[in-house]
Structure 1
Amino acid sequence: MRSKDPYTSKPWLKFYPEDVPATIEESEIPAVSVPELLDQTARKYPRKAALIFYGKKLTYNDLVDQVDRFATALAGLGVKKNDTVAIYLLNSPQFVISYFGALKAGAKVTPVSPVYTSKEVKHQLLDSEAHTVVCEDMLYANVERTGVPLDNIILSNLGDYLPFWKRSFAKKMISKAYEGLQPPSAEEIKRLGLHVFKELLKSNPPKPPEVTIDPKTDIAALPYTGGTTGLPKAAMLTHFNMVATQHLGKAWWPFIEEGKETVIAFLPLFHIYGQAVLMLTGLTQGQTLVLFTTPDLDEILTAVERYQASSFYGVPTLYEYLKEYDKTSRVNWKRLKVIVCGADSLHDTTCEGWERRTGTKILEGFGMTECTSLSHSNPYTRPKKGSFGVPIPGVDAAVIDMEDHQFKPVNEEGEMVLAGPNVMLGYWKRPDADAETFVEIDGKRWMRTGDMVRMDDEGYFHFFDRKRDLIKHKGYSVFARHVEEVLYTHPQVKAAGVVGVPDPKVGQIIKAYVVLQGEARGKLSEEEIIEFCRNNLAHYKVPGIVEFRGELPKTDVGKVSRRELRDEAEGRI
């Protein structure tokens, strides 16, 4: 076996900021539940604003009171320890209250994407064994169409927590986003035996049941993910996993002061990035979350200044838009303590454009649902462009060969593996996936991430591609990201997605979906794009097919969805 010294010696420690510990032992992480952390925070900062939702404020006292009322209501509806509560809501105070309330009642939560179709909702409800759903009233029809037998359906209306003058706007916005869907009438609610969120809070006292939670074994959340192998499945995240992530993150950013920060929270809370990095970190460290249902650029930029935000978290597509947006310059970005990017790789052109416009740097990080959202980040004192950073304290990372699991030398590509207190127990009801995902090397249990990376000689990690996005063409291995990076250097290419299409002669044909800049549409040909690739790529990496599009499908956090492109391409050829 090749030496693991490059990883056990942790070369990245040389570049840790002075006030960041070299490591954190598991014994240093508080053995408490997630709701206990919220309660502790509320006792320290009872009158501080926990949430600001389009101008409406909710203090920590208010929040815990409503969490306790909701936990009481759930217990009254028969929800017991280890039951699953599905949360099918947009970003809203109700999402936060439902999440913490379900955990306080002893249940586990499974957040459902509000853009899911009834078919996708059905899969998650059945697989997670959820019998209680907290649902946006506008989305009730999607739940009904699943046909899944449920014990409790709790309807929530976005307008209930909005200032009066914002309610009509919200109704129009939601109706437009979910065209064709209508909330059930009061008569239907009564006839169908549905429950109403705000009425449950009014009719139940803040006296939650006493539930004993073992943080290391009791599951807090079942977030669904594409995972490291195959179809979407749920990662089993314990209370300890979540508390560990807060503890490690706090050590990594020691300048983030408890009880003194304000964060703009527009990332979707059902996704692990928004859920763990924004909601859980924010509300267990006494921060104020300025919560948005949709990422409206003007409203976000206005809020950064109005509320004097101290931290900003986004995804590459957002920074790409903002770097070209004139109003971005109205914000004094230099005042912010940290500007972070995650969920996908950040292109150099995006970084450079952002730095020219704002005079600040974006700190790129890396995380997965399976590791409770965070494993790597760039040191705030020494960020490296093109790298997603170094392992944070308490997390071990290495690069291994996909086949024989030997450790790869420095600067050689392989599959990244992780170990640490933030790594999931495993996949829910999927021992087959666990067998593929976890590997023991020299007596240590590692989680295979499915991400192809390399570590440089300073210990910084560089993303290459997802293992499942590897294209086999004429016996060669082609990483989709390699081709995309070259396409992005073309001055007339705005966006690109590359996939492999099965072909009996060559294995897979490389296909590039390309969005052109407005002025180039109708003027640039597919052959010209292919010729550009011939001049900038090895012959076996050149796309055989180029298709122009007006836009590309995106995942919930704004990444180009190669999975959708691949499914579509395979259906056509």
Structure 2
Amino acid sequence: MKHQVHFKFWPPRMTKTLTVPETTLYENLLMTTKKYPQKIAIHYYGTSYTYKQLLNEVEALAYYLEKELRVKKGEHVLLFMQNSPQFIIGFFAILRIRAIVVPINPMSTTNDLEFYIKDGNIKTALVGQELYEKLKIIHQNNLLKNIIIATYSDYINENEAYDHLPSEVAGCRKEFHQTISWNDALTSNESALPYCGESEDVTIVPYTSGTTGLPKGCVHTNKTVQANTVGAFHWLNMTSDSVSLTTLPLFHVTGLVHSALAPIFAGSTIVLLTRWDREYASAVIEKFGCSHWINISTMLIDFLANPNIANYNLSSLVLVGGGGAPLPEAVGKQLYKVTGLDYVEGYGLSETMSHTHFNPPHRPKLQCLGIPAFNVDARVVHPETGKEVSIGEEGELVVNGPQLFEGYYRNEEENKANHMTINGKRFFRTGDIVKMDHEGYFFLVDRLKRMINASGFKVWPTEVESILYKHPAVQQACVVRAQDLLRGETVKAFIILKEEYRGKITDTDLINWSKKQMAAYKYPRIVEFRESFPTTSSGKVLWRKLQE
């Protein structure tokens, strides 16, 4: 009974279960185009694209990938871009030929990229031109065979793009040696082989960091992604005339599902931003009548801090929500004051293709993960014994549901370690410590692992420490999380300097060095020097003591 208490607060007039369609993600676009060929799919910095135009470009690129580059069914293809029409076109073109999308964070370093490419035996990449330099050495070493370069400015209208054009979008097209320009890849009017995609086809492998810092690929099929695509469509009350403000990065599962795949399933319109800009976001909400906006708390905090916010008409918004990091209660109250809307928070992971939990839009709670979504069985168990705990008690969140991934790519050890069986049912161990209240709402307490959640990005201390150790002055490093008003959590490094460097190097020196060594969300924002660290008798550093 404990597992069904939340149904009392289920969204009204909504079925408690949802059958996942056996059609594919590519067929979502195909069917929407048949229904609404002339409807605007994407508004992008002064230019608009209909569903028919979008599908035509998907078909042209799919033909090129299949016929010219010989990309095969089941082959991994790197999608390394900022938010852009080309990201969406590339995503569906890869699926059209039954290949597998590997979407990668644009902040990734060359070392990160080399790992993904080797892990997935990737030969072909679709790349934003501003990111090519990170792949150049990999390309020259023949680890990557084919690179198609996209220039975002090809898809804008500069006369109508206002004054808020990000630098990545404003740049003119460049030529790179032995690469293929996006426009050259879209010249054919021919079609790829007839589409025979199936629900069980693997479609996307987003990577998540492991506890050791090594990334793990999460294997998702059409079916697991459809579960949350269609679930979000119903839960967020989308219609064909909804307009989604798309500001979350599309390489990330939450942005992809809620701000691209669900709107396309609905046949609605996407207002696409390559980079976050609070002024531009306010302007397009007013101009295009945006109804839905799924974000992360850091964006919303910045949005509400805009002194010009009262100058914009935001009345078209009907739903504002998000996840990744809990929204401070004071910010939720401010949002209500400005828009009359409650913030609708959700919770999920790359392993579950975004949400397993969502707050009911008619009755959300602040700083709350929400209630289990359609067909999700969520339990709170003792992390060591695996036994279920009582209502209000803390324990590890384990989940079973139709959006649960097939497993980690080529990583049987992690698959065993991160799953458990309860009464014959397979559950994924999230590693998050939660508690459930008497109404069936779930609340995050802490993280079982040391993971740092900086603006929704996962940072693993072990990985950051291993890079810090490369600095000649560092004798010992211990990385912990620190609270941050904007990012929620941020990265703090305790450092013991080698004797010869003491007094000769500053915290700023180390921070500036770190910026060049790791992705922007990973480097320490705070460095504190110590003479020694607290340790166990065996010499292990007591990181929790340092964090406290």
Query: Do the aligned partners of 2:152 and 2:169 also contact (CA within 8 Å) in 1?
Result: no
CA apart distance, 1:16: 0.7
Match of 2:383 in 1: 402
C-alpha distance 570-51 of structure 1, shift in aligned 2 (>3 A): farther
Query: Do the aligned partners of 1:21 and 1:251 also contact (CA within 8 Å) in 2?
Result: no
Query: Do the aligned partners of 2:153 and 2:169 also contact (CA within 8 Å) in 1?
Result: no
Query: Do the aligned partners of 1:262 and 1:289 also contact (CA within 8 Å) in 2?
Result: yes
In the comparison of the two structures, how many residue pairs are matched? 489
Q: Of 292, 310, 314, which aligns to 2:273?
A: 292
CA apart distance, 1:548: 11
Post-superposition Cα deviations, 1:184-211, rounded to whole Å, max 9, x if no partner, equal 63xx53xx2x211111111x22412224
Query: Do the aligned partners of 2:436 and 2:443 also contact (CA within 8 Å) in 1?
Result: yes
C-alpha distance 113-570 of structure 1, shift in aligned 2 (>3 A): farther
Match of 2:23 in 1: 32
C-alpha distance in 2, partners of 1:247/1:225?
A: 23
C-alpha distance in 2, partners of 1:319/1:457?
A: 29
1:282 and 2:263 correspond: yes
C-alpha distance 330-570 of structure 1, shift in aligned 2 (>3 A): same
Match of 2:114 in 1: 122
1:13 and 2:7 correspond: yes
C-alpha distance in 1, partners of 2:340/2:11?
A: 22
CA apart distance, 1:570: 10
CA apart distance, 1:288: 0.6
C-alpha distance 307-170 of structure 1, shift in aligned 2 (>3 A): closer
Match of 2:238 in 1: 256
1:70 and 2:49 correspond: no
Post-superposition Cα deviations, 1:529-566, rounded to whole Å, max 9, x if no partner, equal xxxxxxxxxxxxxxxxxx999x99x99xxx996x6549
C-alpha distance 148-389 of structure 1, shift in aligned 2 (>3 A): farther
Structure 2's unaligned 5+ residue stretches are 466-476, 487-506, 534-548
CA apart distance, 1:332: 4.0
Q: Which amino acid aligns with 1:199?
A: D
C-alpha distance 566-162 of structure 1, shift in aligned 2 (>3 A): closer
Q: Of 27, 31, 46, which aligns to 2:37?
A: 46
Q: Of 419, 423, 433, which aligns to 1:438?
A: 419
Three-state SS of the structure 2 residue aligned to 1:386 is coil
Three-state SS of the structure 2 residue aligned to 1:459 is coil
C-alpha distance in 2, partners of 1:117/1:95?
A: 19
C-alpha distance in 1, partners of 2:413/2:383?
A: 18
CA apart distance, 1:351: 1.4
Q: Which amino acid aligns with 1:145?
A: I
C-alpha distance 115-570 of structure 1, shift in aligned 2 (>3 A): farther
C-alpha distance 387-71 of structure 1, shift in aligned 2 (>3 A): same
- Return 152-161 or 301-310, whichever deviates more: 152-161
Q: Which amino acid aligns with 1:96?
A: I
C-alpha distance in 2, partners of 1:240/1:43?
A: 22
C-alpha distance 357-18 of structure 1, shift in aligned 2 (>3 A): closer
Q: Of 349, 373, 377, which aligns to 1:368?
A: 349
Match of 1:57 in 2: 48
C-alpha distance in 1, partners of 2:162/2:133?
A: 22
1:383 and 2:364 correspond: yes
Structure 1's unaligned 5+ residue stretches are 471-479, 485-496, 503-507, 518-546
Three-state SS of the structure 2 residue aligned to 1:375 is strand
- Return 446-455 or 162-171, whichever deviates more: 162-171
Match of 1:226 in 2: 209
Q: Which amino acid aligns with 2:223?
A: F
Query: Do the aligned partners of 2:208 and 2:217 also contact (CA within 8 Å) in 1?
Result: yes
CA apart distance, 1:510: 9.9
CA apart distance, 1:104: 0.3
Post-superposition Cα deviations, 1:234-284, rounded to whole Å, max 9, x if no partner, equal 11011111111122223323x322x11111112111111111111111112
- Return 113-122 or 370-379, whichever deviates more: 113-122
Match of 1:535 in 2: none
Alignment of 1:231-242 (within 5 A): 231-242=214-225
Q: Of 195, 198, 202, which aligns to 2:183?
A: 198
TM-score with structure 1 setting the length: 0.78
Query: Do the aligned partners of 2:46 and 2:160 also contact (CA within 8 Å) in 1?
Result: no
1:210 and 2:233 correspond: no
C-alpha distance 226-569 of structure 1, shift in aligned 2 (>3 A): farther
Match of 1:136 in 2: 128
Match of 1:92 in 2: 84
Query: Do the aligned partners of 2:166 and 2:274 also contact (CA within 8 Å) in 1?
Result: no
C-alpha distance in 1, partners of 2:261/2:314?
A: 24
Report which of the two has the higher share of helix: 1
